[in-house]
Homo-oligomer: A and B are copies of this chain.
Amino acid sequence: MHFSEQDIENLDKVYRINLINSCSGYKSANLIGSVSEERINNLAIFSSITHLGSNPPLLGFFLRPTEIIPRHTYLNIKENSYYTINSVQLEFVDKAHHTSAKYDRKISEFDITKIKSEIINNFPAPYVKSSSVKIGMKFVEEIKINYNKSRLIVGKIVELNVDDNLITNDGFINLSDAKIATISGCDGYSFPKSNSRKGYQKPQKS
């Protein structure tokens, strides 16, 4: 099936959203925890969290200009600077996906979904208690993408909490052991069962 630039532009809106959201492959599944000045906790699912570098340790995510859900996360990050990134796992995937519903800012998705929050070491944003990987983030930079007015939010990892048994000797976190989700498209969830490591590659000698 071949789609030209014009074909894509002419597609039915929902069809285009599903097609373009799934064509680039699997995405990360994470819940961002944040808190407003009025101390209302927010929880929202994101599929765009991306590794930007290990030293300094940076993660980024994208916000659409017109989306309503992530705006609460954005406002909270601008107000408080700190937020958390938490893995999504099989046991609570339905609750996690439901955080994408458009609730009023006064309503906490922790309350609605009954996903339990957790404060660790007085970190100034709420973690998800059941997540095996919990990342404490500090906002460092916001970058506007001119072409579609979306924003890249860059944060630094300032603490990291990982279930002990998931980390191998060389620091690699075994996501499949924790039944961590991956997202495809807008609403497809998979739980990879196994994992094979290919190692560092050197050029073949000719």
Contacts and interface: CB of A to CB of B under 8 A. Distances in A.
Given A20-B54, A59-B24, A202-B101, A184 B195 contact: yes
A141 interface: yes
A30 to B, nearest CB: 6
A188 B203 contact: no
B175 A199 contact: no
23 contacts: A2-B121, A2-B159, A2-B160, A5-B159, A16-B54, A20-B157, A23-B160, A24-B49, A24-B51, A25-B49, A25-B88, A26-B28, A26-B180, A26-B181, A26-B182, A101-B201, A141-B146, A143-B152, A147-B156, A173-B184, A176-B190, A188-B198, A193-B193
Nearest to A149: B53
Contact of A198 (B49, B102, B150, B187): B187
B24 A85 contact: yes
Interface of A: 1-5, 8-9, 11-30, 47-60, 62, 64, 85, 87-88, 93-94, 97-103, 112, 120-121, 133, 135, 140-141, 143, 145-148, 150, 152, 154, 156-164, 167-168, 170-173, 175-176, 180-182, 184-204
Contacts of A147: 56, 58, 140-141, 154, 156
Contact of A173 (B176, B181, B185): B185
Contacts of A112: 203-204
Majority SS at the chain A contact face: mixed
Contacts of A101: 201-204
A204 B23 CA distance: 31
Contacts of A180: 25-26
A156 to B, nearest CB: 8
A52 B1 contact: no
A8 B196 contact: no
